[in-house]
Structure 1
Amino acid sequence: MSQKRRSVADEPHLVVRSAVSDHVDGQEIAEHRHDWHQLVYVRSGLMTVRTPAGAWLAPPAWAVWVPARARHSIRFTGRSALRTLYLRPGVGGYGECRALAVSSLLRELIVRATDVGMLDERVVAEAAMAAVIVTELPVDTRGVDVPGAEPPAAPTSSQAARYGDGPSAFTLPEPESPLMTKVAAMLDAGATLAAIAHRVELGVRTLERRFHDETGMTPGRWRRQRMLLRGLERIAEGATVAAASEVAGYESPSAYVAAFRTTFGTTPGTYFL
């Protein structure tokens, strides 16, 4: 459908903007930031949103929330159809990046909003659409900028402030310190926890505690999440589940699928079949 022409006079009344673009496998959008919140969604393919704090993956049926002014880049795996909404600060959302499950209603609202182009609070139907979009965001009061929202409980560590009880699905948080960043690289390379502890001259329990304090995950869970997501990236590229399970370090496709289902609640093929 054709989009309405907007003028400078309309700017103060816009509550949602949108953007549509298609991307090929391996294409990247360099690090940047926006003055508005961003709800990033792909109708097909897979995207990885990276910030200094970590990485958030989103296959179809998931999206990534990027708060206003947060620096981020986006990488696409497989042919990806990007549909992005920009929400004016103050209308709702989260204070940190999050991977979000997209309901069927929210999916249709995203598509409809991108068809319209921009939503104007003076137009009853468009204001209602914007309100329902915010309502359809998964309930989570951590960092929400909705007036009157209850503040989060006091965190026990820097990452607790960022993640609450732990990182959300399709999230791979980055450690904050150079030492734990080095540990993450060794975990990614397949080193055992005992070998890593020896290398960085820490006890295993101390290493586990410090890594958890910075990422919200144990080293074992972080590595498992990384490998599961690596396998998902291969499937998005067109690889078989058998090939993905090998890349992820599992002895069989069934073992990989079972581990993926335990972690994410569904099978990896659900998103790309």
Structure 2
Amino acid sequence: MTPPDLSRRAMIAAAAAAAAFGAARSEAADAPGSVPQDRPTRIAMILYPGMTALDLVGPQALLAGLAPGSLYLVARSAGTVASDTGLSLVATHAFEACPPELDVLFVPGGDGTPDQMRDAALLAFLRAHAARAAWVTSVCTGSLILGAAGLLKGYRATSHWCVRDAVLPLLGAVPVAERVVFDRNRVTAAGISAGLDLALALAARLRGPDYARTAQLVAEYAPEPPFQAGTPAQAGPAITRAADAILAPLVAGATEAART
């Protein structure tokens, strides 16, 4: 089976799960963030130069079955957008072509975060669409971009550990050391790989736990990492210092952007 075949089968299975479990509403169906069950979910995912591809690709793969024909990859202009490792993704819509009514607004993080925290066009787009979106979400340092748009003031939120406690408060957010944080209709995830957890948790709110379980099984998401080094506490001082050195430019840039 080729990768495209696998991707198509995953989406078909997820869509079938949505139909099978469409009647099962989440416990929060009447709370802020509830979405009608009788139509595809409308999702806009932001692309920008220097984003981390996995921040977006993981959640996109798990949420795509909810949004046949209504998942929009949005950037300043349509076309290819290079990630922070050089891998290019394709924006399907420019800002002005994105539908105004959304169920999910999603922002990834990455090395390009500080520049996006200062991008007036992106911040204006986020403010306008967040006002109408059922869910406003981010992965990794994408929460700093939401914060720069003024969308996390007074909200509990998380981010990549390297910026969570130092930078989120500068943007009016209350930092929380958790993998995925829900606060009203704001949903933020910790660094990079936590996007998979966010997508499953959000899918459960949108279509019920059985849909999310089915999507998890289709993706065979059963992580067994070879090392327990995913947090500074697990990694220990020496490994954390090495990671700090790699992340220092991002931290410095994000801190400066948050203060200006």
Say which structure, 1 or 2, has more relative contact order (CA 8 Å, 6+ apart): 2
**TM-score normalised to the size of structure 1?**
0.28
Larger relative helix fraction = 2
Answer with 1 or 2: which has the greater Rg.
1
